[in-house]
Structure 1
Amino acid sequence: MRKLINVFFVATGLLFTANIANAQQKVGHINSEEVFSNLPEAKAAQVTLEALGKTKQADIDGMIKEYQTKLAVAQAKEKTLSEANKEVVGKELQTAGAELQDLEKRITDARTKASQEVGAKQGELFQPIQAKVANAISSVAKEKGLAYVFDIANGQGGNNLVYWEGGDDITASVKAKLNITATAKPAAPKK
């Protein structure tokens, strides 16, 4: 609620300031989701990330299968426990328990490491793409004489632009600057 109130005051301040300096500052907006969804480099980077994620998940799934197999063996061995073989089977169960704990730790570590590797790869792949898009946005904004450009994409942590009337939509210009020809449109934001 507090964030909404803050956004309201910021938007009100911007509108008030824009009315005072209307001739000096122009406002534009862009839908970055539309730009990225049509950018070939972003699509290729996403495919690479998905392949890496699947590889890491397959490794983890193999470890989980190994864990489940060893657990089933230990549970079956536990059913054979009797007074006559208590010492031998008990030691085997302790060894199996230690192996299962070790395997559980390895699975947890593998998940953490996979998450870190995928995150690092995402940064490595998308940082140059984001810089390219940012340069195109900056270039178009300068060409159109815009002082501010708001991103109206819903997926950007929530749409911080509560309302707009008019303004220049520079999405098409940025896509043209990036030589994007496809037109897959994500859902339009609500005004």
Structure 2
Amino acid sequence: MRKIFVLAIVGVLMTIGASAQKIGYVNASELLATMPDMVKANKDLEVYAKTFEDAGKTMMTEYQTKADAFTKGEKTMSEAVKEVKYKEIMDLQKRIQDYDQSSQEKVEKKREELIKPVLEKAQKAIKDYGTANGYDYILNSEGILYAKDADNITAQIKAKLGAK
């Protein structure tokens, strides 16, 4: 009986404490998508990725040309020449696959490199805003099932970061 009484008191105290907390939320995806730094990072990433894409297209054109030539001339080639040409095509195919994997890894590394400072800037702005305005918690709205519109501080954080 005494344990139930103590638990009830603890529950009441926790409820009173929780009701005094100030909680806000931010739509992090919207915030990040509209930050000028993120827009620039995405453009820089597109330019970086395009260089790999262009080189990959060149390799694919070379592969297609060699494969077509092999298919057209296969009937007139000796077995030794067929073997050499086939090996060339397979080696080129392997190089293309390795290149694709390597370029994807490089682009992903570059994405992390470009986006990390943007995420840190957004996190700092949210933290600074929360501290300056007495928030105990600021949540990401994408994980909230219900919240009052009055607690949405996305616009204030966007304004602080110069996002539109």
Same topology, TM > 0.5: yes
CA separation of 1:20/1:104 partners in 2, compared to 1, >3 Å: closer, same or farther?
farther
Could you say which residue in structure 2 is the equivalent of 1:176? 159
Could you say which residue in structure 1 is the equivalent of 2:114? 125
SS in 1 for 2:61: helix
* CA radius of gyration, larger in: 2
Query: Would you say the 8 A contact 1:28–1:169 is kept in 2?
Result: yes
Q: Which runs of 4+ in 1 moved over 4 A?
A: 17-20
SS in 1 for 2:138: strand
Deviation at 1:18, TM superposition (A): 8.2
Query: Would you say the 8 A contact 1:136–1:174 is kept in 2?
Result: yes
Between the aligned residues of both structures, percent identity stands at 31
Could you say which residue in structure 2 is the equivalent of 1:41? 37
Letter in structure 1 aligned against 2:130: A
SS in 2 for 1:140: helix
CA RMSD of aligned residues (A): 2.1
Counterparts of 1:95 and 1:136, CA distance in 2: 61
Deviation at 1:124, TM superposition (A): 1.0
Counterparts of 1:39 and 1:66, CA distance in 2: 41
Query: Would you say the 8 A contact 1:26–1:167 is kept in 2?
Result: no
- TM alignment of 1:149-164, pairs within 5 A: 149-152=138-141, 159-164=142-147
1:106-154 Cα deviation digits (max 9, x unpaired):
11111111111111111111111110110000011112222222212xx
- The reply to whether residue 93 of structure 1 matches residue 82 of structure 2 is yes
Aligned residues: 153
Q: Gaps (5+ residues) in structure 2?
A: 1-12
Counterparts of 1:132 and 1:125, CA distance in 2: 12
Name the structure where helix makes up a greater proportion of residues. Answer: 2
Counterparts of 2:89 and 2:145, CA distance in 1: 53
Could you say which residue in structure 1 is the equivalent of 2:98? 109
Could you say which residue in structure 2 is the equivalent of 1:66? 62
- The reply to whether residue 137 of structure 1 matches residue 126 of structure 2 is yes
Counterparts of 1:69 and 1:39, CA distance in 2: 45
Using CA pairs below 8 Å that are at least 6 residues apart, which structure has the higher relative contact order? 2
SS in 1 for 2:116: helix
Q: TM-score, normalised by structure 2?
A: 0.84
Q: Gaps (5+ residues) in structure 1?
A: 1-16, 82-88, 153-158, 183-191
Counterparts of 2:107 and 2:42, CA distance in 1: 11
Range with bigger deviation, 52-61 or 141-150 = 141-150
Q: TM-score, normalised by structure 1?
A: 0.73
- The reply to whether residue 27 of structure 1 matches residue 13 of structure 2 is no
Counterparts of 2:154 and 2:48, CA distance in 1: 31
Deviation at 1:58, TM superposition (A): 1.1
